[in-house]
Chains A and B, each alone.
Chain A
Amino acid sequence: MKTFKGRVIAGGKWEGEAVVSRAGVNTLATFQKSAMANKPEVIVSDQNNPDIFGKNITGKALCLPVTIGSTTGGLVIQTVCSMKINPACFLFSQHIDSLAASGIVLAKVWEGSDVIAVDMLGDEFLATVKTGDRVRVDEDGTVTVL
Chain B
Amino acid sequence: MEFKMKLTDEQLGILNGERGETLAKVMETLVRFGDVFGAEKLVPVTHKQGHLVTSFGIGLLKPLFRTMDELIAAGLKAEGGFTVDPRPIDYDNVKCNPLNKLVFSKIMYSRQADYEAQLAKVGLRDRDAFTCTCYLPETGNVPKKGDVLSWAESSAVVYANSVLGARCNRNSGMLDLFGSVVGFVPYFGLLTDEGRKASWKVYVKTSEKPEAQVLGSAIGMKVVEDVPYVYGLDKFLGSELTDDVTAYLKDFGAATASNGAVGLYHIDGLTPEAKEQGESLILDDAKTYVIDDAELERVYRSYPVMWKDPAAKAKLCFIGCPHLTYAQLVGWTKAIRAALSKAGRRKVALRTVLCTSPGVAKKFRATPMYKELTATGATLTSICPLMYTNNPLTKGTPIATNSNKLRTYSVARYYLDADMLRVIAGLEVK
Contacts and interface: CB of A to CB of B under 8 A. Distances in A.
Interface of A: 9, 32, 35-36, 69-76, 78-79, 82-83, 96, 98-99, 101-103, 105-106, 108-111
B33 A36 contact: no
A101 B170 CA distance: 12
Contacts of A106: 29, 63, 67, 174
Interface in B159-175: 169-175
Contacts of B67: 106, 110
13 contacts: A36-B59, A70-B409, A72-B53, A72-B54, A75-B61, A78-B64, A78-B174, A79-B61, A98-B169, A101-B36, A106-B63, A109-B28, A109-B29
B152 interface: yes
Given A78-B64, A105-B33, 15 more contacts: A32-B60, A71-B154, A72-B53, A72-B58, A75-B64, A75-B173, A75-B174, A79-B61, A82-B63, A98-B37, A102-B171, A103-B172, A105-B29, A106-B174, A108-B32
Interface string B81-112: 00000000000000000000000000100000
Given A71-B153, A72-B173, A99-B172, A105 B32 contact: yes
Contacts of A36: 59-60, 107
Given A36-B107, A70-B409, A106-B29, A76 B61 contact: yes
A97 B58 CA distance: 23
A47 to B, nearest CB: 11
B59 A71 contact: no
Contacts of B28: 109
A70 B152 CA distance: 11
A98 B185 CA distance: 14
Interface in B24-42: 25, 28-29, 32-33, 36-37
Contact of A71 (B25, B37, B62, B172): B172
A110 B32 contact: no
Contacts of B175: 74, 102
Interface residues of B, number: 29
B172 A102 contact: yes
Contacts of A35: 60
Interface in B48-84: 53-54, 58-64, 67
B53 A71 contact: yes
Contact of B62 (A72, A82, A102): A82
Interface in B331-365: none
A99 B64 CA distance: 15
B385 to A, nearest CB: 14
A76 B390 CA distance: 15
Interface string B352-380: 00000000000000000000000000000
A134 B281 CA distance: 47
A109 B32 contact: yes
A83 B64 CA distance: 13
Nearest to B25: A109
B173 A74 contact: yes
A93 to B, nearest CB: 16
A106 B174 CA distance: 9
- Closest CB pairs A-B (n = 3): A74-B172, A102-B172, A105-B32
Contacts of A9: 36
B163 to A, nearest CB: 20
A98 B171 CA distance: 7
A35 B107 CA distance: 12
Q: Of residues A74, A79, A109, which shows the largest number of chain B Cβ atoms within 10 Å of its Cβ? A: A109
A110 B53 CA distance: 19
Nearest to A107: B63
Contacts of A71: 53-54, 152-154, 172-173
